[in-house]
């Protein structure tokens, strides 16, 4: 067949006339398919793009969290009171199948019984923690074992180097490093940090090959520097513990505050607990008594009444008040003194702690005046340190006071306060008539206070307080060798079920040194046995704490403590030694 | 024409190899950076632990116990203390 013979236009196949619907059908089909493809492409690339992009990224892109650490809690000199260190939590997935040898190695590193681990692994949970708080060294060795299905998470553990000494002050953290008590809770928002983040591309072996975009750096929690002085805290805690041992008491608190800056230098409670090991804790141990327990203060309130009397000019330092015969009846109630006194001066009422004297002064003032003074001194409302569970004690509105109540309040019954409130109020005498706001945190220098009394009033009451620790006063055991100090004892019956029981609260609040006050120290001992007077029980604690704290701070002594007999003998060698020392210094060339 | 093409091919090859090697370098450096970061982290952890260790060695209770029991020390009796200076 030649080429010319073939003519396409005359192909026999084409000669058949096709039905026109067929061509329309096919082209519609093709066009429809095309449309579907375009639609699908549009869906994938425009509508669903975000999702797909994300899934795509997820194959190789990883967002890594950069952990931030919780802030430290420091004392005023920068000593650590609480610090977080990273630990590991070890967990297992369902496909953790270990042979005998691996199990042994793991149990050794975790310090767990292998049977215990086996039991956990047998369970049908897809995820189970084997152990929390695994130290980093052990964790690194476990990771090196490359056990199947054993994984690790980063977690933190909090350490408290000061232990039980400052437990109530510092508090502790619970699960997930969240503050639960004390400063840990009070300053939670400042202590916590925010984790950072960075986005990277990882290769098949899990190594980072590229960083994408900018990282968000982690924000570590703020360090909190407390006003507390570890050394004074130690002195206070020890003195309290010894007194509680000696008197077999139920509990107690001590507070030391700097009256110039209002800083709390020490705050100790008993009973206490070890914040590093909290397996056996009771509510009583946890309580920060100094701020959560209010009590009837007893005679420690008397100096305020004396101050009110002086401030109003109604009495003078040596005005005579007749306290005989040691009993007094108001309405149906009778007030008495522990030891009957005759006529006393205002100062002696404080020195000898006469209830009758205080009552007679108090009844000379309208109840509103007394209430206003108590309120200005901070009674009836929390001091506002920010501690959880802080109470303000009880100070009923003056409108409801009956004369007998006004009388008992003058010597500290029918009103309740915390030891922190008492120390706070006593700053009025140490500071020439104004109360200083107390602070848990280190502050910068002196702070202004709220004026309650005239400076002269404060000076005179200071003198009365010093008389209390003299041999004629109620608290000669509170004296501090080398320093002039002053304070007031309190011996209060405890209220048990609304009635006064034969249980006591012994307290002592005082200031020192008298010539230029620097510190206020408050001591409360709960239910002492074998002695219950504030001067005998709390006085020695005050003496030890005040003396120790003043020496620690390097406050110059304002009293010559050397007995005259000794002075003569020690001065002679000292005088001889001086020229020798000069000679030695000259020989050595001096510095 | 042919010479220009040849030259362009060579230039292309050189630049391609350059890209590869700089990429490789970048990854190597990044890995080194990662390692250093890990080291920083570990050192920080160690520092924290050493600080803790220091504060437990320096705890007041421990110092007092050693001073009293091992060294037989005790706080001086205030009666035996003499104040120096202060106008004496």
Q: Scanning every residue of chain B, which has its alpha carbon at the shortest distance from the alpha carbon of A81?
A: B55
Active-site positions of A read 299
- Residues sharing a CB contact under 8 Å with residue A281, sequence separation 6 or more, in sequence order: A273
Residues of A in contact with B83 (CB under 8 A): 482, 557, 560-562
Tokens of A528: 């002492």
pLDDT, tens digit (0-9, with 9 covering 90-100), for B32-75: 988 998 899 889 888 888 888 888 888 888 888 999 999 999 88
Spatial separation of the C-alpha atoms in residues A440 and A225, rounded to whole Å: 9
Direct distance between the N- and C-terminal alpha carbons of chain A, in angstroms, rounded to an integer: 130
What does chain B come to in residues? Answer: 88
Q: Which residues from B are below 8 Å from A561, CB to CB? A: 78-79, 81, 83
Measured between beta carbons, the chain A residues lying within 8 angstroms of B84 are 574
Nearest residue in chain B measured CA to CA from A160: B52
What are the structural domains of chain A?
A: 63-79+161-226 (3.90.1310.10), 84-160 (3.90.1310.10), 230-273+297-553 (3.40.710.10)
Q: Is B78 within a domain? A: no
B87 interfacial to chain A (CB closer than 8 Å): no
The CA distance from A510 to A487, in Å, is: 4
CA gap A578, A584 in Å, rounded: 10
Domain presence at residue B50? yes
* Rg, Å, chain A Cα set: 39
Nearest to A481 among B31, B59, B78 (CB): B78
Pick from A457, A308, A441, A321: which is nearest to A384 by CA?
A: A441
**Residues 6+ away with beta carbon under 8 Å from A115:** none
Comparing CA positions, the residue from A510, A577, A583, A527 lying closest to residue A270 is A527
Q: Across the beta sheet with A519-526, what order do the strands follow?
A: A264-270, A251-258, A519-526, A499-512, A486-496
Give chain A's length.
591
B84 within some domain: no
Of B31, B48, B58, the CB nearest to A83: B48
**Residues of chain A found within 8 Å of residue B59, distances taken between Cβ atoms:** 161-163
Cβ of A80 within 8 Å of Cβ of B60? The answer is no
The rounded distance, in Å, linking the Cα atoms of B62 and B57 is 7
Region of B56 (left: φ > 0; alpha: ψ -120 to 50; beta: rest) is alpha
Dist CA A250 CA A245 (whole Å): 9
Chain B nearest C-alpha distance from A73 (Å): 12
User: Tokens in use for A57?
Assistant: 């990224």
The whole-model pTM stands at 0.79
**B27 and A136: CB-CB below 8 Å?**
no
Q: Which of B48, B63, B85 to mutate to test the interface with A (most CBs of A within 10 A)?
A: B48
B-chain residues near A161 (CB < 8 A): 52, 55-56, 59
Please report how many Cα atoms fall inside a 13 Å half-sphere around the Cα of residue A472, on the Cβ side: 10
In this complex, do B82 and A562 lie within 8 Å of one another by their Cβ atoms? yes
Contacts of A270 (CB under 8 A, 6+ apart): A240, A241, A244, A251, A252, A253
Does the residue B17 lie in any domain? Answer: yes
Query: Helix, strand, or coil here: A502?
Result: strand
B81 and A566: CB-CB below 8 Å?
no
d(CA A549, CA A543): 10
Q: Are strands A486-496 and A499-512 parallel, antiparallel or unpaired?
A: antiparallel
Residues 13-72, chain B, touching A (beta carbon < 8 A): 26-27, 30-31, 34, 45, 48-49, 51-52, 55-56, 58-61, 64
CB contact under 8 A, A162 and B59: yes
In angstroms, rounded to a whole number, what is the distance separating the alpha carbons of residues A372 and A137? 62
Asked if residue A69 lies in contact with residue A193, where contact means CB atoms within 8 angstroms, the answer is yes
- Please report the pLDDT score of residue A585 as a whole number: 42
Q: What is the pLDDT of residue A330?
A: 84
CB-count burial class (<10 Å; 0-12, 13-18, 19+) for A585? exposed
pLDDT value of position A285 = 85
B56, part of any domain: yes
Dihedral of CA A448/A449/A452/A457: which sign? negative
Query: Per the structure, how many domains does chain B have?
Result: 1
Among the partner-chain residues B48, B58, B83, the one whose CB lies closest to the CB of A85 is: B48
What b/e readout covers A380-390, taking b as 16+ CB neighbours within 10 angstroms? bebbebbbbeb
Distance (Å) of CA A233 to CA A267, A519, B61, B63: 7, 14, 11, 15
Closest C-alpha to A556, from A512, A525, A490 = A512
Identify the domain containing residue B45 by its residue range. Answer: 2-72
**CB distance A423 to A300 below 8 Å:** no
Measure A217 CA to nearest chain B CA, in Å: 13
Alpha helices in A251-366 (DSSP H): 283-286, 289-292, 302-311, 346-352, 355-362
Angstrom distance (rounded) from CA A519 to CA A550: 8
Q: What is the pLDDT along chain A (591 residues), one digit of tens a residue?
A: 455 566 666 666 666 777 788 889 999 999 999 999 999 999 998 888 888 888 877 777 778 888 888 899 999 998 889 988 888 888 887 777 778 888 888 888 888 888 888 887 777 667 788 888 888 888 888 888 888 778 887 888 888 988 888 899 999 988 777 888 889 999 999 999 888 888 888 777 767 778 877 788 888 899 999 999 999 999 999 999 999 999 999 999 999 999 999 999 999 998 899 888 887 777 788 888 888 888 999 999 999 999 999 998 888 888 898 887 888 888 788 888 888 888 899 999 999 889 999 999 999 899 899 999 999 999 999 888 888 888 888 898 888 888 888 888 999 888 999 999 999 999 999 999 999 999 999 988 888 888 999 999 999 999 999 999 998 888 889 999 889 999 999 988 887 777 777 888 999 999 989 999 999 999 999 999 888 888 899 999 999 999 999 999 989 888 875 554 444 444 444 444 444 444 444 444 334
User: Which residues on chain B are in Cβ contact (under 8 Å) with A83?
Assistant: 48, 51-52
Pairing of strands A224-225, A73-74: parallel
In angstroms, the CA A549 to CA A517 distance is 13
pLDDT at B88 over 90: no
Distance CA A380, CA A238 (A): 30
Using only C-alpha atoms, chain B has a radius of gyration, in whole angstroms, of 35
Rounded alpha-carbon distances, angstroms, from residue A253 to A21, A256, A394, A413, B48: 103, 10, 19, 20, 32
Please say whether the beta carbons of A261 and A477 come within 8 A.
no
Q: A interface toward B at CB cutoff 8 Å?
A: 79-80, 83-86, 136, 159, 161-163, 165, 207-211, 230-231, 234, 238, 481-482, 547, 556-557, 560-563, 566, 570, 574
Q: Is the ipTM of this complex over 0.85?
A: no
Bridge partners, residue A158, by sequence: A84
Q: Is B43 among the domain residues?
A: yes
The number of CA neighbours under 13 Å toward the Cβ of A421 is 31
CA–CA separation, A344 vs A322, rounded Å? 6
In A94-141 the beta strands, taken as DSSP E runs, fall at 127-134
CB-based contact A376:A307 (threshold 8 Å): no
Whether residue B80 lies inside any domain: the answer is no
Q: What is the largest CA-CA distance in chain B?
A: 111
As a dihedral over the C-alpha atoms of residue A431, residue A436, residue A439, residue A444, rounded to 10 degrees, the angle is -70
Contact (CB, 8 A) for A351 and A470: yes
Chain A residues inside the 8 Å CB shell of B80: 566
Q: How far apart are CA A41 and CA A234, in angstroms?
A: 75
Beta strands in chain B (DSSP E): none
Residue with the larger pLDDT of the pair A373 and B87:
A373
Look at residues A409, A383, A169, A162 and name the one whose alpha carbon lies nearest to residue A289.
A169
Residue of A nearest to B80 (CA): A562
B55 → closest Cβ in A80, A563, A574: A80
Q: Which residue among B55, B80, B86 places its CB closest to the CB of A161?
A: B55
> What does the pLDDT read at residue A184?
92
Beta-bridged to residue A524, according to DSSP, are: A253, A507
Cα(first)–Cα(last) distance of chain B, in Å?
Answer: 109
- Provide the pLDDT for residue A591: 44
Q: Which of B59, B65, B86 to mutate to test the interface with A (most CBs of A within 10 A)?
A: B59
**Cβ atoms within 10 Å of A515's Cβ, excluding its own:** 13
Q: Do A209 and B27 touch (CB under 8 A)?
A: yes
The per-residue pLDDT for range B15-29, each reduced to its tens digit, is 999 999 999 998 899
Instruction: Sort out which chain A residues have CB atoms less than 8 A from B81's CB and list them.
Output: 481-482, 561-562
B83 in a structural domain: no
């Amino acid at each position: 067949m030649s080429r010319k013979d073939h003519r396409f236009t005359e192909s026999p196949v084409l000669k058949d006339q096709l039905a026109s619907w067929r061509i329309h059908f096919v082209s519609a089909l093709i066009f429809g398919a095309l449309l579907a493809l375009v639609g699908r492409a549009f869906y994938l690339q425009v509508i669903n793009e975000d999702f797909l992009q994300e899934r795509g990224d997820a194959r190789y892109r990883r967002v890594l969290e950069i952990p931030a650490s919780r802030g430290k809690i420091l004392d005023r000199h920068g000593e650590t009171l609480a610090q977080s260190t990273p630990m590991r939590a070890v967990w297992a997935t369902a496909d953790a199948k270990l042979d005998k040898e691996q199990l042994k190695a793991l149990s050794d590193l975790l310090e767990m019984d292998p049977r215990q681990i086996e039991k956990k692994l047998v369970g049908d949970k897809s995820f189970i923690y084997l152990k929390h708080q695994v130290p980093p060294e052990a964790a690194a060795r476990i990771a090196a074992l490359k056990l199947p299905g054993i994984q690790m998470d980063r977690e933190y553990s909090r350490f408290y180097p000061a232990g039980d000494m400052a437990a109530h002050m510092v508090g502790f953290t619970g699960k997930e490093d969240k503050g639960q008590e004390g400063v840990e809770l009070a300053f939670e928002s400042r202590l916590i940090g925010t984790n950072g983040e960075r986005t990277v591309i990882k290769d098949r072996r899990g190594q980072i090959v590229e960083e994408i975009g900018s990282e968000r750096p982690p924000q570590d929690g703020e360090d909190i520097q407390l006003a507390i002085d570890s050394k004074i805290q130690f002195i206070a805690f020890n003195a309290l513990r010894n007194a509680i041992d000696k008197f077999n008491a139920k509990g107690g608190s001590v507070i030391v505050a700097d009256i110039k800056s209002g800083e709390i230098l020490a705050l100790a409670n008993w009973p206490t607990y070890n914040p590093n090991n909290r397996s056996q804790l009771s509510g009583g141990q946890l309580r920060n008594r100094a701020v959560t327990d209010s009590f009837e203060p007893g005679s420690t309130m008397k100096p305020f009444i004396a101050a009110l009397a002086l401030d109003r000019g109604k009495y003078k330092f040596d005005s005579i008040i007749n306290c005989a015969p040691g009993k007094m009846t108001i309405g149906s109630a009778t007030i008495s003194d522990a030891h009957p006194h005759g006529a006393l001066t205002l100062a002696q009422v404080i020195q000898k702690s006469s209830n009758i004297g205080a009552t007679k002064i108090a009844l000379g003032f309208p109840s509103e005046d007394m209430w206003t003074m108590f309120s200005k001194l901070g009674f009836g409302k929390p001091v506002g340190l920010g501690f959880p569970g802080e109470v303000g004690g009880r100070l009923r509105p003056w409108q409801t006071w009956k004369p007998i109540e006004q009388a008992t309040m003058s010597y500290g019954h029918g009103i309740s306060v915390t030891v922190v409130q008492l120390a706070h109020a006593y700053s009025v005498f140490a500071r020439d008539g104004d109360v200083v706001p107390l602070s848990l945190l280190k502050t910068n220098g002196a702070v202004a206070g709220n004026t309650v009394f005239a400076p002269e009033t404060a000076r005179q009451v200071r003198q009365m307080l010093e008389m209390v620790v003299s041999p004629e006063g109620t608290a000669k055991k509170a004296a501090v060798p080398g320093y002039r100090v002053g304070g007031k004892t309190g011996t209060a019956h405890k209220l048990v079920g609304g009635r006064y029981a034969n249980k006591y609260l012994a307290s002592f609040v005082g200031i020192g040194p008298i010539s230029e006050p620097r510190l206020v120290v408050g001591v409360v001992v709960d239910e002492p046995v074998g002695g219950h007077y504030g001067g005998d029980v709390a006085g020695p604690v005050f003496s030890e704490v005040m003396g120790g704290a003043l020496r620690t701070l390097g406050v110059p002594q304002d009293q010559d403590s050397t007995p005259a007999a000794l002075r003569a003998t020690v001065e002679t060698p000292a005088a001889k030694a001086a020229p020798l020392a000069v000679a030695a210094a000259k020989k050595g060339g001096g510095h | 024409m042919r010479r220009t093409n040849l030259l362009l091919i060579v230039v292309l090859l050189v630049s391609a190899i350059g890209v590869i090697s700089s990429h490789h370098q970048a990854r190597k450096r990044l890995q080194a950076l990662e390692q250093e970061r890990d080291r920083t982290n570990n050192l920080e952890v160690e520092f924290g632990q050493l600080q803790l260790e220091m504060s437990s060695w320096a705890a007041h209770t421990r110092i007092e116990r050693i001073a009293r029991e091992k060294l037989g020390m005790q706080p001086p009796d205030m009666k035996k203390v003499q104040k120096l200076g202060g106008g004496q």
